[in-house]
Amino acid sequence: MYNYNVSDSFRAKNSFDPEVRVLHVGNNNKCRSYASFKSQRLRQESYLRYVSDVCKRKLLSRFRLGVSVLRIETGRYEHNGFPGGKGLPLEWRVCLCCDLRKLEDEIHFLIECPCYAKMRERLLSKVISELKLNHTFFLSLPSDAIFMFIMESQDKVVVNALADYLWVAFKLRNQQLTQALQNTVKSVKRRKV
């Protein structure tokens, strides 16, 4: 079992199992998502066998290990505004692609962020049809349960659908953040003129 800390306020804001939703910067936090859904038993990671595209496989692997470019991770290295201060508090590491002001972690990125709604629809409908799930029931589950279900799946179609989702969603995220940065630069320049 790995160690983690969850502040009471953060726990209160996130109404599900703290082992799933993460958590506080501390030891082993990079293993946060992975540790939450990985089976106790050692088994071959299905994505290594199923995802033929090397880039997608790497992306999926990093996402599972909690070392993707999401702010829950990159915020550890962002300047916090204090002299010499490195690392944002967890509550500042919010998603910059939507207005929900929620922590940009793996669950937000995969299940919650409205920015990726269209591609998520495709992912979820593939999961539902491939695994013959009850559509209404599945979609009524809390975000963490849907997240866990998808991440734990050993089904080839689901694993590839997940890899495809990550590929296009991260691409869109990158475009959105680049655009936002360019807009900020332009507005700063306008103010200086």
Nearest 5°: phi and psi at 160? Answer: -70, -35
Among 72, 95, 158, 163, which residue sits at the site for Zn ion (rule: CB under 5 A)?
Answer: 95
Binding string, residues 99-138; x marks residues near Zn ion by CB under 5 A: --------------x-------------------------
Token digits for 52?
């033929």
When the beta carbons of 88 and 159 are compared against Zn ion, the nearer one is 88
Supply the DSSP symbol for 193.
Answer: -
Does residue 168 touch Zn ion according to CB under 5 A?
no
For residue 175, give Cα distances in angstroms to 62, 142, 172. 20, 29, 5
Does residue 163 touch Zn ion according to CB under 5 A?
no
Does residue 98 touch Zn ion according to CB under 5 A?
yes
Supply the DSSP symbol for 77.
Answer: T
Q: Measure CA 13 to chain center.
A: 17
130 half-sphere exposure, CB direction, 13 A CA radius: 17
Does residue 72 touch Zn ion according to CB under 5 A?
no
Does residue 90 touch Zn ion according to CB under 5 A?
no
The residues of the shown chain that bind Zn ion, judged by CB under 5 A, are: 95, 97-98, 113
